[in-house]
Structure 1
Amino acid sequence: MLCILAVAALVAGCGSNGPTASQAITLSAAPEAPSSPSPNPSPSPSVDPGTLPQTHVLPQADDPAFQAGVQELWNAIVQDDPSIALPFFFPKSAYLQVKAISNPSADYENRLIPWYKLDIEAAHALLGSNADSAQFVSVTVPKSQAEWIVPGVEYNKGSYYRVYGTRLDYSVNGHTASFGIFSLISWRGEWYIVHLGPSTRSTNKGIVYAPEG
């Protein structure tokens, strides 16, 4: 297994252990459609959700937007093309609303997005020659560990739900393995990635977080 590097302080917090089965919601590769609409429907695709005010709605892992985002992430990893998964990353306009740092725009563009791209490339390297045959199996979000982060915490002026411990399972030639998504945060009732790999690292290199199998 490829184990990739880590460690230099980030704005967002530290990780936690993975969830137990009883704590988590698991999404399979072909989930059933939810029986009722999302409690906070996404705005029109023409509207940048980050320009709208935050809501106190806890995201659901069976939400179609989240399912689509996970599939975008998986496709980006398999194809070694981070641009595919950029819509699944926390919106820049929302980041500007929540972060109380001197230059959140530069932090977003010069640190968060480059690390996200490097981490996707690192996950592709983890698959190696098996990338074309690797299959997405499921994603598990430990819903009970989601925490509402208030202003003044994590250098914030705004709030959001944050969850550690999400894991993505995949299969290669009948063998199942997984890796972690370091942290998801919410905007208007939807989960987005803010750190695919760890939120601290000492060098500007991609990191596959907690690979197993």
Structure 2
Amino acid sequence: MTAPRNRARGREEAPRSARAWGRVGRGALTFSGAGMIAALVLAPSCTPVPIVSYDAAVLEAGLDGGDATPPLTDASDAEAGPKPRREWDAGVEDDAFPAASDELELRMRHLLEAIAAGDPALAPDLLYPRDAWVRAHDAHDPGKLWDTKVKPYFLKDIQRLHKSQKSMERARFVSFELGHALTHVQPRAHDLKRPVWRVRGSKLTFTIDDKPKRFVIAEMTAFRGAWYVTKLR
């Protein structure tokens, strides 16, 4: 999906109909703008990157990565001949616009479960993948930035949010609303090597003993058609 460029900021705004991304809650997504509905219905669903690619975050959170999958970074072949087809060569661009799917609500439920328990291991599918970060960011050592900032902040913020509400262990999911500050950020020196979709101010609504509560997610970034958290607070 191509979006008009905002040259002054070096980024593109989302299509007008995409700015009104609606609410994820109780098994359904609602949108304003018929064009957006058609685009999302026709768009292929994208499966989030397997948790095994989360590397150190998975290990430190005590997660089981399951079956091994190939990393997102290129590796040299010992044997001559054509390289085997990789999962990320399957026709979906890194910055593909995220399509509507029930898996987003499911993963947001995982996030609330992790916060309610104070246990990041319950939300292995929400943290922005390390390999995706390395591929997208223009830095001397992008992997180190992920290891020292993105990953530890995510893990610590889950524990901090757990302590921010009394009786957090009794939290019940209500809905998730994607933020309206949706932008297609373009490559820029010392920042990004590849364009990415980014959104700020998404809202996770829940109840504790029937009293409505809400967390605002600072920043989410898309990778291969799925949203991930890059800044929880």
Name structure 2 gaps, 5 residues minimum: 1-18, 30-36, 51-67, 74-87
Higher relative contact order (CA 8 A, sep 6+): 1
Match of 2:106 in 1: 68
For the residues of structure 2 that align with 1:78 and 1:67, how far apart are their CA atoms? 16
1:127 touches 1:134 (CA, 8 Å); kept in 2?
no
**Partner AA of 1:87 in structure 2:** D
Match of 1:95 in 2: 133
Task: Determine if the alignment matches structure 1 residue 138 to structure 2 residue 160.
Answer: no
The correspondence for 2:96, drawn from 57, 61, 64, is 57
Task: Determine if the alignment matches structure 1 residue 183 to structure 2 residue 188.
Answer: no
The 5-angstrom pairing of residues 94-173 of structure 1 reads 94-128=132-166, 130-142=167-179, 144-152=180-188, 155-173=191-209
Displacement of 1:28 in angstroms is 1.0
Match of 2:210 in 1: 174
2:27 touches 2:105 (CA, 8 Å); kept in 1?
no
The correspondence for 2:24, drawn from 23, 27, 39, is 27
For the residues of structure 1 that align with 2:158 and 2:69, how far apart are their CA atoms? 27
For the residues of structure 2 that align with 1:181 and 1:120, how far apart are their CA atoms? 11
**Partner AA of 2:168 in structure 1:** A
Normalised by the length of structure 1, the TM-score is 0.71
- Percent identity between the aligned chains? 21
Displacement of 1:178 in angstroms is 0.6
Displacement of 1:59 in angstroms is 1.2
For the residues of structure 2 that align with 1:168 and 1:44, how far apart are their CA atoms? 22
Task: Determine if the alignment matches structure 1 residue 39 to structure 2 residue 44.
Answer: yes
2:174 touches 2:206 (CA, 8 Å); kept in 1?
yes
For the residues of structure 2 that align with 1:171 and 1:67, how far apart are their CA atoms? 16
Normalised by the length of structure 2, the TM-score is 0.65
Displacement of 1:179 in angstroms is 1.4
RMSD, aligned α-carbons: 2.7
Displacement of 1:24 in angstroms is 3.9
Q: 1:153 to 1:174 in 2, by over 3 A?
A: farther
Q: 1:187 to 1:49 in 2, by over 3 A?
A: farther
For the residues of structure 2 that align with 1:24 and 1:175, how far apart are their CA atoms? 25
Q: 1:37 to 1:140 in 2, by over 3 A?
A: same
Q: 1:92 to 1:121 in 2, by over 3 A?
A: same
Q: Name which one, 1 or 2, has greater alpha-carbon Rg.
A: 2
Displacement of 1:30 in angstroms is 3.5
For the residues of structure 2 that align with 1:146 and 1:112, how far apart are their CA atoms? 20
How many equivalent pairs are there?
172
**Partner AA of 1:176 in structure 2:** P
For the residues of structure 2 that align with 1:29 and 1:58, how far apart are their CA atoms? 23
